[in-house]
Amino acid sequence: MEKNFPLVNGTTFCTFYSYSRKSYVKTIEFYNKFLKLKISSDSIYYCTLSNPDVTLKVILEENGQKQQQIDKQIEKLESNVSGQDWRTMVARSLVFSTDDIHENEKALVSLKAKYRHYPTELVPLIIYTIDPLGNLVAVTSTKNSVSAIRILPPDSIHIVKQAKITSINNLSSRMITSDTYPSLPKYVFNHKKSIAVMTSGGDAPGMNANVRSIVRSAIFKHCRAFVIMEGFAGLVKGGPDYIKEFFWEDVRGWLAEGGTNIGTARCKEFQERAGRLLGALHLIEFGIDALIVCGGDGSLTGADIFRSEWPSLVQELYQNEKITKAQLDKYQYLNVCGTVGSIDNDMSSTDATIGAYSSLDRICTAVDYVEATALSHSRAFVIEVMGRNCGWLALLAGICTTADYIFIPENPEPHKEWKDKMCDIIKKHRSKGKRTTIIIVAEGAIDTELNSIKASEIHRALCDKLDLDTRITTLGHLQRGGKAVAYDRILATLQGVEAVNAVLESTPDTPSPLIAISENKIIRRSLVDSVVLTKSVAEAIKNKDFKKAMSLRDCEFIEHFNNFMAINRADHHEPRLPPSKRLKIAIVNIGAPAGGMNAAVFSMATFCMSQGHKPYGIYNGFTGLARHESVRALKWLDILGWESRGGSEMGTNRATPIDADIGMVAYYFQKYSFDGLILIGGFEAFTSLHQLERARDSYPAFRIPMVLVPATLSNNVPGTEYSLGADTSLNSLVQYCDVIKQSASSTRDRVFVVDVQGGNSGYLATSAALSTGAQASYVPEEGMSLAQISSDINTLKQSFQKAQGTSRSGKLILKTTNASEALNAKKLADILTVEAEGKFDAKSALPGHVQQGGNSSPIDRTRATRLAIKATVFIENNQQKIKSGRDSNEEFELDNEDYMETACVLGIMGSQVVFTPIHQAFEYETEVERRMPKRIHWSEIRAIADHLVGRKRVDDL
């Protein structure tokens, strides 16, 4: 079995440029073997290699002249016969920490690479070698790696981020409650720093959550918190109307508010040095020495320029007698950090920007509405969405709504052929019986000659060529409005906490950081490098280098694009695979219904059709199979519209194969000759996969690749940190909580105790508490101690006494149903009312099955598509691994390592999508009786949720 931990860690993300096909291939092989990095995505022009902590991207840009320079560099180093230390001959080196330095040395021997030891060959602390691109790369057995890399590296290597990766799980360790911390922090005189936050550029849902998090985190860390009104314009104008100190209560209720309460504005003055000089003066006047900017690439570029010019600006202010010598000495440096607020999701090196998924949610809701009227009249609708240089919104909306065609700037349409190409696809869809046509076009859509493609042109083509009744819907600024969805609230909050940590830890030599997210991890990137990469996409499009534009987008963007193209061709084109490789693949839903189940079934089925496989649905779970032989071939027309629907169209129940009759299940598997099985569901599906895998020795029909796509609002499946349905459920719960919190605030002195589903998992309650600003949450993992309840009551008393009936004084308490057997939500509310001594009263609220949600959220739809397609590819790739066990008449080796790796849980762990063998997950990572994983990946964010509302934890005191 492979190790469960990465062999190397250190520098988080590097992009290498190779200038010949030969060196490109050699580089991939080198890092695959030397650092034991797996190839996570691959194409003709780029390749990504990674483990959970390190990601390297190799991009091919053939250039003979630059390749000659690299060859000379390699020759110079390798021909060094004098024994001169390689480190003295290069400007930089890239160093990683390793778990086993001797494993890396063996890899170098197998690669026949030249390398050197330090200090001795017998006991090396570090090993240096030269990669095929001429870079000096090393591994060290010491605890921390140190990469000696310039901020502006040459063309051969582009470092996106230098700082060490920071996980969500590490954030709470920086926010430990001390005995000096009251429930509502007091003003202190010995401040560490004065931190200012501004929002700039276009507004985005979630910006208020980000400001709230920064203000309260700064106060918690004994810093003064300031806000700058109206973005850079307010910084240039200065004065108490534009630069204000904020306190704890000033940001109460901001989580649930859209837009940005501190304003944003364009500022031409700040683009000139004179404007930045005024900005520096105003920051010094207020004693501010750190600035956090939430905005897009333009705003963050301005912030980094401001930081780089800061020493000269301060010197000029002193020479002009605008500041004193004491101020000159005190404000020598300005720490700057960026959080990205943009609905376009156009910032490189982060998976998501604050506001992007809220905007996508608006688009999907609008298209779902439009689809209803389109179906009624058999109409075509052209939907224009935002996205000047980035087609992320249009692409993901296309997946979420199963659009017939999309137009995005990164993949422009053929100049003279796009109308015929579009109409051909729509004609095929209509000929199969589809009554609706949805076209989604980004506002920046172009053809290959850089001519804009307008919604009006598409409308005209559909009318003239296909005679379709067509309408145009331009969503406009509707996409920016409204409250942030739960994901954006959590993202903005966690990034705000980490932004404060970043400016407190920064030194004058630290490059300005950008707070980003990779899959499920909050990380730091280099702000300037991220901006450069972002702008290079627009430059590549301008230069008609569309392959480069696509390659510069993150791997997930490219994966989403390929997924859309695959499911879009479905049943209407010649299958990609030859008949000999076509399979029969079954899919089944197990457990409670969850958002994304239908999207996963639709995506699996349509991807199978495009590949040439035959998809089967097992209706009503294993019970339906054993009792009624409920197997149906999935047809394209029958499953249209499933992508957006909540629940489970195929039906689901909690019966496992043993419950239903595993012998009959095996009989029908054999009857239909299934070549693979995809299970979608929660802990019951997890148990079912384990039962099927363990039954392989008795039933040859189960000797096929099988994979579980976790789907449960409880998010309690071992082997993953994310389950389909959790986001849909969380959005529904957050909307419910927003409504009753508004009621509580209107009544003034009221607390609502909300009963939250989740079984033995407190994930939903914890995430909802972080998203709504709930005063407390009780979860099964911690239980409900009388000491903690007493402490929470005292905190509530203090809070209501301080509020004295002002607005927004209502409070929420969330309780997972299983957090206590003795106290349900109503009993807890009664206790709170009695103990409140008249300072407040409490009511219980039971959202019940509302928490399962309605239509699936965009996150669940897109992740369902992504995971379902990965699951299908897993079945394709693992046929040969278990074929011998399936065809052989000899005794089946149940614990054969290769066989066990053909039955896996597909999940997201940290910054990686991983396949974990079910035997390993069930035996070593699961508390079976509690139906829970042993490692609770979300537990650490509870501390952040508590600290940001001023809750004292009795175990911290």
Cite the active site residues. 344
Cis peptide before 119 (omega within 30 of 0): yes
Burial string for 814-835 (b: 16+ CB within 10 Å, else e) reads bbbbbbbeebbbeebbbbbbeb
Two structure tokens written together for 109: 């021997």
d(CA 534, CA 91): 26
- Residues annotated within the binding site for Mg(2+) are 297
For residue 105, give the nearest of 97, 95, 115 by alpha carbon: 115
In a 3-state reduction of DSSP, which class is residue 480?
A: coil
In DSSP terms, 907 is beta-bridged to: 914
Give the Cβ contact number of residue 504 at 10 Å: 18
Q: How do beta strands 521-526 and 115-119 pair? A: unpaired
First to last CA, the chain: 43
- Residues annotated within the binding site for ATP are 202, 266-267, 296-299
* Amino acid identity at 815: K
Give the Cβ contact number of residue 44 at 10 Å: 10
DSSP string of 376-390, one letter each residue? HHT-EEEEEE--SS-
683 within 8 A of 725, measured Cβ to Cβ: no
d(CA 526, CA 510): 9
309 within 8 A of 317, measured Cβ to Cβ: no
- Residues annotated within the binding site are 202, 266-267, 296-299, 342-344, 379, 386-388, 443, 471, 477-480, 654, 712-716, 750, 757-759, 843, 849-852, 931
What are φ and ψ of residue 544, in 5° steps?
Answer: 65, 25
What are φ and ψ of residue 177, in 5° steps?
Answer: -70, 135
For residue 490, give the nearest of 810, 933, 938 by alpha carbon: 938
In a 3-state reduction of DSSP, which class is residue 596?
A: coil
Three-state DSSP string of 807-829: CCCCEEEEEEHHHCCCCCHHHHH
d(CA 47, CA 56): 8
In a 3-state reduction of DSSP, which class is residue 730?
A: helix
Sheet holding 513-518, edge to edge: 243-246, 224-228, 194-199, 290-295, 335-340, 513-518, 521-526
Give the Cβ contact number of residue 576 at 10 Å: 12
What are φ and ψ of residue 832, in 5° steps?
Answer: -60, -40
- Residues annotated within the binding site for substrate are 342-344, 379, 386-388, 443, 471, 477-480
Q: How do beta strands 115-119 and 124-130 pair? A: antiparallel
Two structure tokens written together for 640: 């249209």
In a 3-state reduction of DSSP, which class is residue 672?
A: helix
d(CA 512, CA 335): 7
CB-based contacts of 471-477 (< 8 A; 24+ apart in sequence) = 471/379, 471/380, 471/381, 471/382, 472/381, 472/382, 472/384, 473/366, 473/370, 473/381, 473/382, 473/383, 473/384, 474/384, 475/362, 475/363, 475/366, 475/383, 475/384, 475/385, 475/386
User: From its phi and psi, is residue 287 left (phi > 0), alpha (psi between -120 and 50) or beta?
Assistant: left
747 within 8 A of 842, measured Cβ to Cβ: no
Burial string for 180-202 (b: 16+ CB within 10 Å, else e) reads ebebebeeeeebebbbbbbbbbb
Q: Which residues contact 562 (CB under 8 A, 6 or more apart)?
A: none
